[in-house]
Structure 1
Amino acid sequence: MKLSLKTKGRRFGAGDPEVMMDINTTPLIDVMLVLLVMLIITIPIQLHAVNLEMPVGTPPASNIKPEKVQIDIDENSTVYWQGLPVSAAELEEKMNVVSTMNPQPEVHIRPNKNCQYAVFANVLSSSKRKGLGKMAVIGHEQFVQ
């Protein structure tokens, strides 16, 4: 009877370790890493290049040289067309004529460092409105400090 008294208070398996309810994720992570490495190895290498088919041979020589139109803006914000002072209306009219020429002449704008920016911006916007595509600002190195 002594034996039965000692075992009466104990539950069955109380001394055994508890059952784990969590999943062991270490093998799952290992398999996923191996699959990731295999995927990276099998992806083809992407080249950062653009393939262009360039024409072979020399281009035909162009005997037609485009005319150059010089627009100057002095320190008093006076606009000059080919060395002659012009008003805003005359500038618009001359740009209309130049925009219809074929080939379109190159327009070189040379502003003075001390001219008003509004005058320079007006010349640029007028040239854009008129459809002049060959524009260049000459003498920009004077603005670099």
Structure 2
Amino acid sequence: MAVGLHSASGRRGRRGRRAAMAEINVTPLVDVMLVLLIIFMVTVTLPAVGVPIELPESRANPVEEAPEQITISVASDGRIYVENEAIASGAFPEALEAIGRTGDGRLPAIVLRGDRSLDYGRVMAVMGELGRAGFTSISLVTDGSVTAP
């Protein structure tokens, strides 16, 4: 067991060390903010829909995304997806009936993604079923292009 003898000057030095720090330690704040920034960057760059489709090119202006929109994709093999769910052959009209209305009673906007290798008639058949089901707001998704057709 150690016994220390302190002089009066030693006590003053010790009191100075016990005084409240006037500096703010920002290192934990910076660490948390960097982690949040990385999470935000990763989630923003992820594609909105997981169905792999090679979109056709267009010079059209981008369309704003709406929270109530439904994405319908037509893959290169002709299979139809509502969001990320594959629809069985012939069950597309039933799948459209199952889509609920928005909070104000309207049908949601439809974003149609069709593979560039598809026949024009296949995409038009899907659009025809959408129109028949009452969906009037349909946006076609394309990749950006720098050259005019």
Interval of TM-score (by shorter of Structure 1 and Structure 2):
0.3 to 0.5
State the structure with more CA Rg.
1
More relative contact order in 1 or in 2 (CA 8 Å, sep 6+)?
2
- The normalised TM-score by structure 2 is 0.46
Q: Which of the pair is proportionally richer in helix? A: 1
- The normalised TM-score by structure 1 is 0.47
